[in-house]
Structure formats: C-alpha cells, structure tokens
C-alpha cells in the first residue's frame, strides 16, 4: 500500500488567538482523510531549516483553548528571496510534504503563492491575524478575541478614569487597519475613535471633548489605533498631553500593546478556525492549491490566492458615523 500523502501546517507572521484551534482542525481532518501531517516550526524558517515535527491526533489535544501557537511563529527574510523559496520547496519534497496549510496574514499568503508557483508545493492560506485586515474575508482568526481583550482592558480603565474625572487615551493595535479600534471604541462607548482610514483631526477631537465637558461630562475614553499614533510625533502620549493642555481635563495615555495578541480564543475564533481549517484540508485532499480560505456572511469561502491578494477591503465608515453620532 502506498504511503499516506503528507501535508504540512505552519503559522507565520504575528500570532493570533485561535491559531491552535486551526492547527488542531487541520491535523484531525487530514488524518481522518488518510493523510499524514507534519508541523513546520517557526513559520517559513522551519521549511528552510528542515524543522518538522510529526503531528498525530493526540498531539493536538488540549490546545483548542490556548492562545499563541504550538508551532511558534516567525518572520523569515530568507523566504522573500527566490533561493529561499526553492530551498524550502526542496526540503518539503524530501520530507514528502505535498501540500501546505499556511496560517497567517497577507505577507504569509505572498510566501504561499511563491512556494506554489516557484516551488510546486500546493499551498492553502488561512487568515490568521488580530487586525482583520485581510481583504478576501470578513473575518480573521484572532480578531474577536483581540477585540474582547481590548474591551475588557478599556472597561477597567474606565473605572479609574471615572473615579478621577480624567480622560483616558487608549492605543489599540492595528498598524494599517482600524477594525479593532472602531469596534472596541463602540463597545466601550468612546468619545472619539481615531482610525488609520480617516485622517486624524486633532481639532475635531478636541471640539467634541470640549462640547461634552461644557455640558457636564466629566470623564472620557478616546480610542486611537496604533497606525494613527505612529504617524504623530509623540504618539498617544502627545495626544493625551494636548487634551490636557487645551481642555484642562487631566489625561493619561495607555498603550494596550501585545496583550491583545494573547489569551484564550473566544467561541467565534475557535469555530471560525475550525471551519476554515477543515476547508483547507478538503482543498488539499482534492489536490487543489493556490487558494486562500475565508469567511463571508458567515459562510466559509475560498479564492484563488492572486485574486485574494488583489481584493480591497474597506473599513465600514457607516459604522464609524454611527459611533460618532452616539458618542458624547
């Protein structure tokens, strides 16, 4: 009897809660389909340095509830060069890896596309990033957990902000995308939300704070996406100082940072990761590569990887308007 076909699975780029749930689904679905699975350690580095681990059913027990990634993750410069990709493809072939599930963001998908086209290894991408900034999907693995973590943190900040009659400027993650900022901002009742998709207008923000202050509002939450803060010298600290200087309201800045990338994945992340991981295995089982799996209107979908990389996604600005209208 011929050996079972073998697929690999790796996590790449920034980690996201739910990546373990995706790994689990890939391993279990593949084994049920008669395939063997190798975990590739530390993203594309593992392909270049032959760092593979056999994954059996029980090796992915007890991980569905854990944040981070049991396969570790990394950014790999060598993989951006043709020589690195060819070496990775060669190593896959030597290890018998015929297909690969790549869990990561857009950058990781570009790598997957190159490995398919230059190296002849069928790859399927799964969207894993807290930023929700992958165009072909409404939803990325890790996004829901990150928003809930940010919301919990800001709720705690509100307690102290309220007790001191202060303004809390909270910086959330999202270098290029304002999804976390917009949704968290709405969920915590922020007075103002600054997202990378809209040019930051200091006067507009100060005007809102001053107007509400003059009508008796005493404490404020301002949510700023990392991408906005990065473009301002002094970042969130400077925004807080400006608020204090102009309005007289004592202000503090808090950068939530990498805490948003950790923790137990929510139900939504675990379910999305499982359903999308399952689809990735179905594709590879059918010998189909060069695809990215996503979720649209609650349905699991898949696209040609080039098509997926060219799609554009817009932050829902109507939601931004709602947030603005209900803030005070």
**Structure-block tokens of residue 237:** 């600290």
For helices 202-214 and 235-247, angle between their N-to-C axes, nearest 10 degrees:
40
Q: By CB under 6 A, name the one of 7, 10, 11, 14 that touches ligand F6P.
A: 14
- 234: how many CB neighbours lie within 10 A of its CB? 12
d(CA 43, CA 214): 53
Q: How far is the CB of 143 from ligand F6P (least distance, A)?
A: 10
User: What residue number has its CB nearest to ligand F6P?
Assistant: 14
Q: Of the candidates 15, 98, 114, 269, which one interacts with ligand ADP according to CB under 6 A? A: 114
Q: Which two tokens stand for residue 182?
A: 């917009």
Least distance (Å) between residue 44 CB and ligand ADP: 4
For residues 96 and 88, what is the distance between their CA atoms, to the nearest angstrom? 12
- Measured from each CB, the residue nearest to ligand ADP is 107
Would you say 58 and 47 are in contact if contact means Cβ atoms under 8 Å apart? no
Distance CA 250, CA 240 (A): 9
DSSP 210: H
Which residues ranging from 288 to 307 are in contact with ligand ADP (CB under 6 A)?
none
Q: Is 226 in the site for ligand F6P (CB under 6 A)?
A: yes
Q: Which of 6, 11, 108, 260 binds ligand ADP (CB under 6 A)?
A: 108
- 137, 132, 95: which is closest to 292 by C-alpha? 137
| 140 makes contact with ligand ADP (CB under 6 A) | no
Q: Within 10 A of 96 (CB to CB), how many other CB atoms are there?
A: 15
Eight-state DSSP code of residue 77: G
If the CB atoms of residues 125 and 185 are measured against ligand ADP, the closer one turns out to be 125
Catalytic: which of 131, 133, 144, 269? 131
Near ligand F6P by CB under 6 A, which window of 41-49, 147-155, 169-177, 247-255? 169-177
Annotation says 165 is catalytic:
no
Catalytic residues: 131
Query: Where do contacts with ligand ADP occur on this chain (CB under 6 A)?
Result: 12-14, 44, 75-76, 79-80, 104-108, 110-111, 114, 129
Interface contacts to ligand F6P, rule CB under 6 A: 14, 129-131, 173-175, 226, 261
């Amino acid at each position: 009897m011929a050996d079972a076909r073998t697929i690999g699975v790796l996590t790449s780029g920034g980690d996201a809660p739910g990546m373990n749930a995706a790994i689990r689904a890939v391993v279990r679905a593949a084994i049920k389909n008669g395939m063997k699975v190798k975990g590739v350690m530390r993203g594309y580095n593992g392909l270049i340095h032959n760092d593979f681990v056999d994954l059996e059913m029980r090796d992915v027990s007890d991980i569905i509830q854990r944040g981070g990634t049991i396969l570790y993750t990394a950014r790999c410069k060598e993989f951006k060069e043709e020589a690195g990709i060819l070496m990775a493809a060669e190593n896959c072939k030597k290890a018998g890896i015929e297909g690969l599930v790549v869990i990561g963001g857009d950058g990781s998908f570009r790598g997957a596309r190159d490995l398919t086209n230059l190296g002849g290894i069928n790859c399927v991408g799964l969207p894993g990033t807290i930023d929700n900034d992958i165009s072909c999907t409404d939803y990325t693995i890790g996004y829901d957990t990150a928003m809930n973590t940010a919301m919990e943190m800001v709720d705690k900040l509100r307690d102290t902000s309220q007790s001191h009659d202060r303004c809390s400027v909270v910086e959330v993650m999202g270098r290029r995308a304002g999804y976390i900022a917009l949704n968290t901002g709405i969920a915590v009742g922020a007075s103002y939300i600054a997202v990378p998709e809209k040019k930051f207008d200091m006067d507009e923000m100060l005007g809102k704070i001053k107007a509400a202050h003059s009508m008796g509002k005493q404490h404020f939450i301002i949510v700023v996406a990392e991408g906005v803060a990065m473009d301002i010298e002094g970042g969130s600290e400077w925004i807080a100082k400006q608020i204090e200087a102009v309005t007289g309201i004592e202000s503090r800045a808090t950068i939530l940072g990498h805490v948003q990338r950790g923790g137990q994945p929510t139900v939504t992340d675990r379910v999305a990761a499982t359903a999308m991981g399952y689809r990735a295995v179905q594709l590879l089982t059918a010998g189909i590569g060069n695809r990215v799996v996503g979720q649209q209107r609650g349905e699991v979908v898949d696209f040609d990887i080039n098509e997926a990389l060219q799609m554009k996604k817009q932050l829902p600005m109507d939601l931004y308007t709602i947030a603005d209208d209900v803030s005070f």
